[in-house]
Amino acid sequence: MTFDIESLRVPPGKNLRLENIDPKSTPEWSGSDKEQGKARVEELNARLEQLQELLYAEGKHRLLVVLQAMDAGGKDGTIRHVFDGVNPSGVRAPAFKRPTSEELAHDYLWRVHQHVPGDGEIVIFNRSHYEDVLVVRVMDIVPEQRWRKRYEHIVDFERMLADEGTTIVKIYLHISREEQKERLQSRLDVPEKNWKFETGDLEMREKWDDFQEAFEEALEKTSTPHAPWYVIPANRKWYRNIAVLEILVQTLEGLHMAFPDPEEGLEDITIPD
């Protein structure tokens, strides 16, 4: 079946309204049920494993995946399910939490640049440099005249990475306010999930509308041909996984990679007993 990832892409300069995108929808998916969706996830995951091995072996390309979402939006689950089975030696997933004192002593992109992928690597940013136009904006951590300049900084930073050989894919996992409530409540109700709950999540939830507005502007101003944003309806986790996998598989296939030539004379080698 054909899955047009362009339908999820945010065109540069588009006036984006997240309220017009149904978080429960399953665009480009023509399957009949959830079980069929899970089967498709397995197929795509196997293909991603092949492509990741090829990327690592060829050692010529770099892939940066940026994941952003509201709290409980599914970033950790996406990483766990989408990258299940890939070679861990070629994949990293740094998580950008509250900046340390050393990081705060530098410009806001300093800590990010240290984690971008090298040749043959896939790096998944669990949160990212976009926190510096999201959280700092909504929580009024820095003045508007500072964070407004950062859209242009980020576009230039990502253009530099792309010019130097990094393929960039940015994904926003779009959930509803009701779905977030259910997921946060689950973290309270299920003892094994208690560790995930932070009281600070409730403060963030109170500012839901402010965060939606901040995400909309960030996606509008920084979705570019060299670093596109994709908005994925993410209430249905199985569909979320399909959509992310389709984007990654199609992006990697578009690199037209090939395994490096083997050493000469391998056909004459016999492995000794």
Residue 259 forms part of a structural domain:
no
| pLDDT surpassing 90 at residue 185 | yes
User: What is the per-residue pLDDT across 91-114, written as a single tens digit (0 to 9) for each?
Assistant: 999 988 888 999 999 999 999 999
Q: Does residue 31 surpass a pLDDT of 90?
A: no
- In a domain, residue 167? The reply is yes
Q: What is the mean pLDDT of residues 150-157?
A: 98
What pLDDT score does 89 carry? 86
- Residue with the two structure tokens 């901040």: 214
The verdict on residue 243 lying in a domain is: yes
How many domains does one find in the chain? Answer: 1
Share the mean pLDDT of the chain. 94
- 93 lies in a domain? yes
Distance CA 51, CA 46 (A): 9
> Cα–Cα distance between 96 and 71 in angstroms, integer?
14
Q: What pLDDT digit, counting tens, does each position of 62-92 carry?
A: 999 999 999 999 999 999 999 988 888 899 9
Say if 269 falls within a structural domain.
Answer: no
Is 129 within a domain? yes
Q: What is the pLDDT of residue 1?
A: 66
Q: How far apart are CA 59 and CA 258, in angstroms?
A: 10
User: Does residue 16 fall inside a structural domain?
Assistant: no
In order of 4, 27, 254, 267, the CA distances from 126 in angstroms are 25, 24, 24, 44
pLDDT category of residue 5 using cuts at 50, 70 and 90: very high
Residue 46 belongs to what domain range?
Answer: 41-254
Q: What is the mean pLDDT of residues 224-247?
A: 97
At 32, is the pLDDT very low, low, confident or very high (cuts 50, 70, 90)?
Answer: confident
Measure Cα distances from 145 to 129, 151, 157, 207, 209 in Å. Answer: 17, 12, 19, 21, 21
Residue 138 lies in a domain: yes
The CATH number linked to 51 is 3.40.50.300
Structure tokens at 252: 């990697």
